[in-house]
């Protein structure tokens, strides 16, 4: 298990991506799976900065990568506002891009890129997003 703490800034996204891709490679994920992890984590961290913290420099993002026999587990922890993922509307699939509302598209993307996605919200321990990507069999 490797843990790194990053400032809640958009300029941190590149360093976070490098960290998770490096761990995905060590976990034996193929290039497509590595890209899925990178994209899902980038989207989740962007959402943390924008929605949980309401802007840059308002908190930190803890990134925990755990290599398992099945693949890679990535946990993102923040101490911003929580939300109810079940209340986030699903985007209109197949609609013109100009008709798609931005709310919900990122969550939909994360859910479809990763094999498992879990949310845990705690006033004491913060918000924890756990994402699992499994190796191809």
List the chain domain ranges. Answer: 2-134
For residues 59 and 53, is the Cβ–Cβ distance under 8 A?
yes
The average pLDDT across 46-57 equals 96
For residues 38 and 24, is the Cβ–Cβ distance under 8 A?
yes
pLDDT value of position 136: 87
pLDDT value of position 42: 98
pLDDT in tens, 90-135: 776 766 666 655 566 789 899 999 999 999 999 999 999 999 999 9
Q: Which of 25-29, 39-43, 63-67, 104-108 has the lowest mean pLDDT?
A: 104-108
> Domain 2-134: which topology?
Heat Shock Protein 90 (3.30.565)
Residue 124 φ/ψ region, left for φ over 0, alpha for ψ in the -120 to 50 degree band, beta for the rest: alpha
Question: Exposure of 128 by Cβ count < 10 A (0-12 exposed, 13-18 middle, 19+ buried)?
Answer: middle
pLDDT value of position 64: 98
């Amino acid at each position: 298990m490797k843990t790194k703490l990053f400032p809640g800034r958009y300029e941190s996204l590149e360093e976070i991506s490098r960290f998770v891709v490096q761990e995905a490679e060590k976990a034996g994920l193929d290039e497509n799976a590595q890209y899925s992890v990178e994209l899902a984590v980038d989207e989740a961290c962007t959402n943390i900065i924008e929605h949980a913290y309401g802007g840059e420099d308002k908190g930190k993002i803890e990134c925990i990568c755990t290599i398992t026999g099945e693949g890679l587990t990535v946990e993102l922890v923040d101490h911003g506002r929580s939300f109810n993922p079940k209340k986030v509307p699903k985007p209109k699939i197949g609609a013109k891009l100009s008709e798609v509302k931005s709310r919900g598209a990122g969550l939909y993307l994360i859910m479809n890129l990763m094999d498992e996605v879990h949310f845990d919200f705690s006033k004491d321990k913060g918000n924890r997003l756990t994402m699992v990507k499994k190796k191809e069999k």
